[in-house]
Amino acid sequence: MDLGSSGLLKPRISAFPREGTDAPQGRCLLLFCLLLAMILSGCAVNRAVLRDPLSPEEHNDLGVAYESRGENSLARREYEAALNQNPASLVARMNLGNVLLKIGEWRAAESAFEEVVARNSNHAAAYNNLAWALIEQKRRLPEALQFAQRALDLDPDPGRSLYYRDTIGMAYLSLGNTAAAVATFRDLIARADGSSLEFLGEVYYHLGLAYEQAGDRVQFLESMRKAKALLPEGDLARRVLDKLQGN
């Protein structure tokens, strides 16, 4: 069965502000004002090559602000600017990988996450998101499963581990191990009490895909109906509806 997109709603671990700071809302507003002032003063069209007025950390923070507004192309630009100044920034490279996942540039996202784990072999989120990038491409699937399992081993936090378990389930499903996928998703639903309805809806959608692959139409329809009831309006909800209307 062609799974199509695996239903990724967002990167498993999303945008990070700079190291050692909280969410930079006030600072990002100041950065927006600075850029606007530059444009109004004519700096944007000056023929002279000027020193970048923003630090790598400020470019990263601005990217986080853009990404929070859904302006993913602008976020990508800022993360890349941060990395041009400081190629060693794992925060900016992780954020770049995440925004590349959002816009469907799987191979580029894969490269970004591979760079993170090459520099930090204990970065659970990078292993998990690398697994997602591979699953979306339907390539290196045995490695994708290993990466997701390593993320869980590295970070058993009760909240974040739910996302790792979902990734593990999708890796099993992509490998054709339907029984393991069903067991993983059912266990995840039992663990996810108190999680967001959107996340739970996504897991039910994935469980439905597993039952569809197994040929269990009754459980497939039940899982998809539960997913439809939980998911907000959006691409994944439309995909669930298409599945239900096709059956």
In order of their start, the domains of the chain are 1-138 (1.25.40.10)
pTM of this structure: 0.81
Q: What is residue 8's predicted lDDT score, i.e. its pLDDT?
A: 41
**Nearest 5 degrees, angle CA 207-CA 210-CA 214?**
140
Q: Indicate the SS3 state at residue 180.
A: helix
pLDDT value of position 5: 39
List the chain residues with pLDDT less than 70: 1-50
What's the confidence (pLDDT) of residue 20?
45
What pLDDT sits at residue 53?
86
The pLDDT score that the predictor gives to residue 195 is 84
Do 159 and 193 touch, CB atoms closer than 8 A? no
pLDDT tens for 120-173 read 999 999 999 999 999 999 999 999 999 999 999 999 999 999 999 999 999 999
Per-residue tokens: 172: 């099993």
pLDDT digits (tens, 9 = 90+) for 45-54: 454 456 778 9
Cβ atoms 100, 112 nearer than 8 A: yes
DSSP state at residue 44 = G
